[in-house]
Structure formats: structure tokens, C-alpha cells
Amino acid sequence: MTAVIAALALVPAAVRADTLSRAEAVAQALANNPEVRKSQQATVALQGRKLEALADALPELKVYGTGLRYRDPSLLNSSSFDAFPPELRSALVPVPASLYEGTAQLTQTLFSFKLGAALRAAGHAMSMGLEQERGVSRSVALDTIRAYNDYLLDLERVKVAEKSVRQREKHLEAARNRRAAGVATDLEVLRLEVALENQRVQLERTRGEAELARGALNAAMVRPIDAPVEPVDTLERRPLDVTLEEVVQRALATRAEVKAADAAVLAYEELVNVERAERLPRLDLAAVWGYSVREPRNFFVQNFAKWNATVTLKVPLFDGFRASGRIAQAQAQREQAAQDRIALENRIRLEAKQARDALATAGRVVAAADLNVSQAQKALDMTQANYTLGAATPLDVLDAQAALTLAESLRLEGLHEHANARAMLRWVMGADPLDPPAATAEATSKAGTE
């Protein structure tokens, strides 16, 4: 025993399978998936645009400092310079000089019909971005849950195939013993040997499919594709009793896509107001204050201070129909967003019907498969007993084994479809695609039934 423990301690950590639940798989996918990170950065960009829109409503203050060295002979080029007395002309010799300025410039929009609409549009765009980010996260969670369920299904298929191989090995051993006793033929043994090898081939194929499913799950979590994984959750049937109308109402009230579409309509409505405001008057203030000196020591001396303030009223009269064209474009975009909202609602109603029907169908399949598995197992036990007594042929046993394998496979597929349909229905409703804890699920089921 000590030797076994020591050997296990020497196994590299990289080859040990990490236990993983659905919730943990989803958490890793949301933390690492590039689509989620892209949506987060898109939200950051929209936050930047909102700040940019806010800047138009706030004062803008800039400080300038300049130094100028110049020589100006413009007086010598005056048209009346020749009329000056000669002694004055000789005194008017241009000499180089320096000029230094330091000023602060303030610009502020005092009134504009455009500012409020632009700020509201930016706010709606920000809301749309946040909902789109939430929608991407929910979609990634749903895809990860499906990948997890696919891996569970293939692992269970491997177990079924291994069980079938063991049954056929046991049956082949019994046939060889019967042949040794002189009550079975070489043909019976040969048929069983061929059937066993065929089942072993099927087992290897199933194992390969499980490896592919593991790679897909690791890809969903953005982990090394060949990283070992040991799922701890199972494929099980859990109740989720909701009416079609309840699914639709919850979806329309909580789906991120619906809220994003609503925000888009509101944002485009405000953009129409922004374009209309281009036709309306606006009032702006521009002010400059500072010093202009020839000697730097005169900075901050009051006599060298300079300032001016300008209030500008802009009243658009005619812009060549530019504003009309922009208004028409904004109105068209608003109508497109409204139609997208209508199309989304129609699609949600279809998704709700499909998801609910898929869940109901999967539930009926699982219920029928549970009974069929027990009946197939009973038939196999009886056939094997009859074969031992010489009352059944090897083909009868092979048929019974194939029927049991098929029944178990159909049951697994039903559980897999039920798990995926359950996650899809919760996603359509706008809820977390992950199943809630068992106690919460039972309470929800009872409430839905009542």
C-alpha cells in the first residue's frame, strides 16, 4: 500500500484529471473566453463614448504659452514713409524684439438643444452595451454546458460499451466451456468471437469520441485541449414545469437581447433629436485671459494683462439640406431598430415553443427508456439462462445483448437531450442556464405546479 501511494505521488500534476462540475466549467469559460472579454472591452469603449458626449456639456479650459522673436519692417514699407522728415526716417530703424504671452482660454456651451439628446443617447448606448455583454456571457455559459453534457454522454457510452464487451467475453467463455463438454459447435464459438471483436472495435470508437468531446469542453473553457477532466455532475432528469406563455413573458421581461434592443430603439430616437438640433440656435462662450510682455519679468504685472470674452449666438438658416439628410438617416436607423425588436420578439416565441417541446419530448423518451432498460436486462438474463440449458441459440443471446445496449444508449441520449433542453429552456427564459441546487429546483417545480 505504501508503495502504491509513493507511486501516485510521483505522477506529474499535469496528467491528473481535475474534478470539474458544470458550474466550475462555466466559471472558467466566462473568465477565459475571448468573446466575453471582447464584449467587456466593447462596454468600456461605450463608456468612453459616454464621457465624450458629456464633455460637450462641460467647460473646456486650455493654457497656452508662446515666445516670439521678430523684426518687423512694415513701417518702412508704408506708402507715406517718404513724407517723413529725413531725421525721423533715419531714427525709424527696425530692431529685433521679443514678445512673450501666457494665456488661459475657456470655451463653454451656454445653451444647445443638442446636448441633452446626445447625453441621453450615450446613456442608452451604454445600457445596450451592458446588456449585450450579459447576453454574450449567457451564450458562452450555454455552449459550455452543452460541451460538458456531450462529454458526459460520451463517457457513459464508453461505460455501456465496456459493459457489453464484458458480457460478450463472459458469453464466449461459456460457449467455449460448452464446446469442451461437446454440447456446442465451433460455429457457435466463432460467431461469438466475431461479435466480441466487433464490440471491441465499437468500444475504441466510443473512446475516441469521448476524447474529442473532452477536447471540445477544454476549448470552451480555453484550456489546453488535451487537459484531463473528471466530471463530477451526471446526466439526470430534473423537473422544469413552466407554461409556454410563462416562458415568453419571462423572456420578454429579462432577456438581455430584449433589453439591448429596447435600448437601441431609445438611442436611435435620441439620435434623431440630435440631428434635429442641428437646425436650432445655440449659444457659446469663449474667453481669454493672460499676459503679453516683452520682458519675462513683467509677467503678472497688471498693466501687461490682456483679456477678452465673446458670446456667440449661432442661428442656422440654410445648410443645403444637410441636416434634413442626416435626420432621414437617423429616422431610418430608428425604424430598423424597431423592426429588429419586433423580429426578436417573434424569434423568442418560436424559441420558447421549440425549447419547451424539446424538453417535454426528452422527458417522455427518458421515461420510456427507463422501463425499456429494465425489460431488456430481464430479457438478457432469461436468454442467457436458456442458453446455458440449451434452450436458446448464440444468436438469441447476441440479439438480447444488442437490445440491452441499444436500450441503455437510448436512455443516455434521452438524459443528454433532457439536460440540454433544460438548459436551453432556462436560457430562453432569460434565466441562468445552469440548473439551480436540487432544493431550489424542487421548490420551483412545486410553485409552477400549483
pLDDT tens per residue, range 375-430: 888 888 888 788 777 777 777 877 888 888 888 888 888 999 999 999 999 999 99
Is 78 buried (19+), middle (13-18) or exposed (0-12) by CB count in 10 A?
Answer: exposed
Mean pLDDT of 187-198: 87
pLDDT digits (tens, 9 = 90+) for 250-306: 999 999 999 999 999 999 999 999 999 989 999 999 999 999 999 999 999 999 999
56 φ, ψ to 5°? -65, -20
**Band of residue 11 on the pLDDT scale cut at 50, 70, 90:** very low
Residue 440: the pLDDT is: 46
Looking at CATH, the fold of the domain delimited by 17-70+98-445 is given as Outer membrane efflux proteins (OEP) (1.20.1600)
pLDDT at 379 (0 to 100): 85
Give the Cα separation of 201 and 382 in Å (integer).
27
Cβ neighbors of 319 (< 8 A, separation 6 or more) are: 278
CB 111 within 8 Å of CB 314: no
Query: 128, 264 in Cβ contact below 8 A?
Result: yes
How many helices and strands in the chain, by DSSP H and E?
A: 11, 6
Q: Give how far Cα 318 sits from Cα of 274, 277, 328, Å.
A: 17, 14, 17
Q: For 127-159, write each residue's pLDDT tens digit.
A: 999 999 999 999 999 999 999 999 999 999 999
The pLDDT of residue 438 is 60
- 220: burial class by Cβ within 10 Å (0-12, 13-18, 19+)? buried
Q: What angle do CA 57, 58, 64 make, to 5 degrees?
A: 130
Q: Is the pLDDT of residue 444 over 60?
A: no
Q: Band of the pLDDT at 329, cuts 50, 70, 90? A: very high
Q: What is the pLDDT of residues 108-134, one digit of tens each?
A: 999 998 888 998 999 999 999 999 999
pLDDT band for 209, please (50, 70, 90 cuts).
very high
DSSP SS3 for 63? strand
Domain boundaries of the chain, sorted by first residue? 17-70+98-445
How far, in whole angstroms, is CA 72 from its chain's centroid?
A: 67
